[in-house]
């Protein structure tokens, strides 16, 4: 584990088994493990033994198993026959698949959002952009991004799609976002890359102008530029061969 990951891990509070509802416990530890995977604290390929997780989160075996199996469904964790669980590996092929799906689905959701847009949708986007911008100002983006910036970034993109009326796609998009966030945070642990923050302002302005075509084109470009930057830092050999 890198020093930055170790430092981040020390910041993560242990969960306490104070709740008798095992479903609630499983949901809480699921969110905790998912967050540590997407932030790169739990690293690709890292073995997730129940003993390690029990000590880390202070929980019993049942909620931990439930959380791990749920994470395996979303493919952030792999199940090894008779060998337990591991954080899913990364690869340029997987990154390409994640981003292709994310881009296509996010644009479908954005079009649906424009079809059902109202003033409250605009307000959510403006508020989320302000939060994202202020978070970037007060907590400069370093490697990895801070948890506050990551949450604000997710909040902005969620607000942008919030008027969409495609709940099944929105659920799938949440899973794809987790995978994309993991690659982004792992890339920033390697070193600071290109600044694509301006793209969020342009997306906000297109949304307020109710210009769906420009917004979709900007979103596609925003995702493409960010992905190229991630690919270059995480898989430089693959990038050089192109």
DSSP H helices in the chain: 3-11, 22-38, 50-57, 61-73, 92-115, 119-138, 147-161, 167-190, 198-208, 212-234, 236-240
Give the tokens for residue 216: 């979709």
Range of the domain at 114: 92-240
Are residues 61 and 158 located together in one domain of the fold?
no
Complete edge-to-edge strand list for the sheet that includes strand 77-80: 47-48, 84-87, 77-80
The single residue listed with the structure tokens 């990038």 is 239
Give a yes or no: residue 61 inside a domain.
yes
Q: How confident is the model at residue 16 (pLDDT cuts 50, 70, 90)?
A: very low
pLDDT at 171: 95
> How confident is the model over 164-191, as a mean pLDDT?
93
| Cα–Cα dist 135/107, whole Å | 26
Confidence of residue 137 (pLDDT cuts 50, 70, 90): confident
Q: Are residues 16 and 104 in the same domain?
A: no
Percent of the chain having pLDDT more than 70? 82
Which segment of 20-34, 68-82, 121-135, 183-197 scores lowest on mean pLDDT? 183-197
193 and 235, same domain (yes or no)? yes
Contact, 151 vs 177, CB < 8 A? Answer: no
* Eight-class DSSP state of 15: P
Predicted local confidence at residue 81, as pLDDT: 76
Residue 146 pLDDT class (50, 70, 90 cuts): confident
Question: Are the CB atoms for 125 and 206 separated by under 8 Å?
Answer: no
Q: Which residue, among 1, 94, 90, has the nearest Cα to 45 in the 3D structure?
A: 90
Q: Are residues 36 and 133 in the same domain?
A: no
60 and 147 fall within a common domain: no
Rounded mean pLDDT of the chain?
A: 86
Beta bridge partners of 47: 86
Other C-beta atoms lying within 10 Å of the C-beta of residue 220? 15
The reply to whether 64 and 133 lie within a common domain is no
> Is position 2 within any domain?
no
Same domain, 96 and 67: no
Express each pLDDT in 41-79 by its tens digit. 999 999 999 999 999 999 889 999 999 999 999 999 999
**Residues 83 and 97 reside in one and the same domain:** no
132: pLDDT strictly greater than 90 = yes
Give Rg (Cα) of the chain.
Answer: 19
The model's confidence at residue 9, banded by pLDDT at 50, 70 and 90, is: very low
With a cut of 80, say whether residue 182 has pLDDT above it. yes
- Calpha distance 18→27 (Å, rounded): 14
pLDDT number for residue 19: 46
Q: How many domains does the chain have?
A: 2
Q: Which of 38, 53, 87 is the last residue of a domain?
A: 87
């Amino acid at each position: 584990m890198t020093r930055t990951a170790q430092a981040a891990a020390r910041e993560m509070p242990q969960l306490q088994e104070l709740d008798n509802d095992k479903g609630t416990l499983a949901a809480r530890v699921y969110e905790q493990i998912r967050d540590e995977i997407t932030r790169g604290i739990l690293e690709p390929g890292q073995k997730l033994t129940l003993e390690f997780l029990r000590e880390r989160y202070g929980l019993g075996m049942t909620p931990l198993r439930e959380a791990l199996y749920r994470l395996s469904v979303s493919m952030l964790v792999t199940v090894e026959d008779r060998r337990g669980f591991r954080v899913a590996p990364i690869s340029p092929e997987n990154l390409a698949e994640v981003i292709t799906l994310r881009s296509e689905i996010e644009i479908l959701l954005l079009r649906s959002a424009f079809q059902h847009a109202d003033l409250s949708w605009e307000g959510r986007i403006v508020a989320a952009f302000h939060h994202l911008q202020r978070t970037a100002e007060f907590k400069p983006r370093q490697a990895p991004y801070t948890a506050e910036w990551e949450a604000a970034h997710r909040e902005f993109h969620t607000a942008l799609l919030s008027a969409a009326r495609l709940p099944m796609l929105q659920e799938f998009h949440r899973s794809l976002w987790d995978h994309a966030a993991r690659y982004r945070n792992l890339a920033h642990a390697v070193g600071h890359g290109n600044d694509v923050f301006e793209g969020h302002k342009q997306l906000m302005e297109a949304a307020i102008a109710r210009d769906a075509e420009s917004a979709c084109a900007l979103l596609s470009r925003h995702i493409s530029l960010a992905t190229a930057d991630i690919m270059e830092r995480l898989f430089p050999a693959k990038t050089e061969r192109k």
